[in-house]
Amino acid sequence: MTPAARLAAAAAIIDSISQGRQPADAVLKAWSQQNRYAGSGDRRAIAERVYQVLRARGRLSAFMGGRQDGRALIVGALSVLDGATLEEIEGLYNGEGYGPRPLSKHERGRVMAGEDAVDLAEVALPDFVTADLKAVHGDRWREEVEALSGRAPVDLRVNSLRATMEEVETELRDAGLSPQRTELSGWGLRLDAEPAPNVQPLDGFQNGHFEIQDEASQIVGWLSGAFPGATGVDYCAGGGGKTLGLVQAMQGQGALIACDVSAKRLDNVKPRLARVGVEADLRLLGTNGGGVEDLNGQADVVLVDAPCSGSGAWRRRPEDSWRLTAEEVARLHALQLRILGQATKLVRPGGRLAYVTCSVLGAENEATAAAFEAAHADFKPVPVADAAHSADLTEAGRERLTALAQGNRLRLSPAATGTDGFFIALYERVS
């Protein structure tokens, strides 16, 4: 494919992403399957362009006078991000072959005018998201916005039940990779290779020696309070990543129950458990939390990784930042409170409840925690500092997380900790 044809393809893919609800990677995969003439170099270049545009969508739309179609955004990217001149852009937009049609008068004018003197952070995300980040972070909000638009690394969690850090490091290096130990999680390895390496075919992954899991997701599991011999409940198991982390924190001892309202998601957890050679009791929940009544008042630890906006992972799925609405966040807040209310029934007196989201929004984090605390006098906050003694954290991690915590609440973010955005609030049942 010519460079111009790649641009045309990228624009069409961006339009498909904008018009649907599928993840960007799924749309890219479908395009590749439908256009097998495109070589690996073409596919890589198109994917890189698509993600470049998605990460800078707000800025590029502002540059192009508010337009959000794929063609306009790519013209903006060529000018703003690549630094291409008008002549260079017109050389690509000449209507020849499979390339895009020539620039319109409006497009040419936007390129010639250059970028307006606007606060780029103000236009990077939807207005209601920016307002939320300002309220949470104060003067640091720009730093958080900028970090959310960056590239995310690939983090791995070494499964201590099957391998040592050294064994996994050796395998990864033998595969031509350069793993670095994570700063906070004692079982984390980070791969910064670009493009992101595919580690799933490696024997270590197939044999359960390591899992793909962001460092922040590992940390909230280590802070949950799970211990060997415990009765632990992963109340919103989803894909099972934290389920496997809890098994590791419990050193494979005790009883772990993984719950979800989706039978399909629970079915997807089964092969992951089998691969690492551990067991969990998988429970399908009813809409009102039914299906685990036998566990009422029995659990030592209940981790509630509640449905949320997923805004903490926008580095990985930047398209989602422009799909989210304020109304959806309000709906999720109400759902989070309802789920927490259901989960409390399972916690024994003296047991631990951990509320977790993969979100950077105060409306899903602090606001939900505050509403829960106001409604549940039978649960007392547990300082993060008390949970940070976990042996699964590094010494630096224990110190860093204790310093970042606000009492029983902790925020992790691309800007603050170099991780995905996560929130955790810890509680103990007192009666």
pLDDT at 120: 82
pLDDT at 363: 97
pLDDT at 288: 83
pLDDT at 83: 94
CB–CB of 280/328 below 8 Å? no
pLDDT score of 86 more than 90: yes
What is the CATH number assigned to the segment(s) 215-429? 3.40.50.150
CB-side exposure of 374: number of CA atoms within 13 Å?
Answer: 7
pLDDT at 117: 64
pLDDT 10s digits, 162-178: 999 999 999 999 999 99
pLDDT at 27: 95
Structure tokens given for 175: 């595969």
pLDDT score of 118 more than 80: no
Give the pLDDT mean for 232-239. Answer: 94
Give the pLDDT mean for 87-115. Answer: 92
pLDDT at 60: 94
pLDDT confidence bin for 321, thresholds 50/70/90: very high
Cα 390 from Cα 159, distance rounded (Å)? 16
Q: Is the dihedral of CA 265, 269, 270, 272 positive or negative?
A: positive
Structure tokens given for 294: 């036998």
pLDDT at 371: 98
pLDDT at 277: 86
Helix (H) or strand (E) holding 181: strand 180-181
For residue 69, report the phi and psi dihedrals to the nearest 5 degrees.
-75, 155
- According to DSSP, the residues that pair with 156 across neighbouring strands are 189, 212
Give the pLDDT mean for 338-366. Answer: 97
pLDDT at 335: 97
Give the pLDDT mean for 314-326. Answer: 95
- Domain-by-domain residue ranges, the chain? 3-118, 215-429
pLDDT score of 286 more than 80: yes
Structure tokens given for 311: 């805004």
Structure tokens given for 171: 């395998």
CB–CB of 240/212 below 8 Å? no
| Residue 274, C-beta contacts closer than 8 angstroms, at least 6 positions apart | none
Cα 17 from Cα 20, distance rounded (Å)? 5
Give the pLDDT mean for 206-233. Answer: 96
CATH topology of domain 3-118: N-utilizing Substance Protein B Homolog; Chain A (1.10.940)
Instruction: State the pairing for strand pair 379-381/188-191.
Output: unpaired
User: 3-state class of 231 per DSSP?
Assistant: strand
Instruction: State the pairing for strand pair 180-181/231-234.
Output: unpaired
pLDDT score of 388 more than 80: yes
> Is position 358 annotated as part of the catalytic site?
yes
pLDDT at 337: 97
Q: Which of the residues 236, 259, 308, 358 is marked catalytic?
A: 358
pLDDT confidence bin for 8, thresholds 50/70/90: very high
pLDDT at 431: 82
pLDDT at 393: 97
User: Looking at this protein, which amino acid is placed at residue 96?
Assistant: E
Q: Mean pLDDT over all residues of the chain?
A: 94
From the number of C-beta atoms within 10 Å of its C-beta (0-12, 13-18, 19+), residue 258 rates as buried
pLDDT at 114: 85
pLDDT score of 248 more than 70: yes
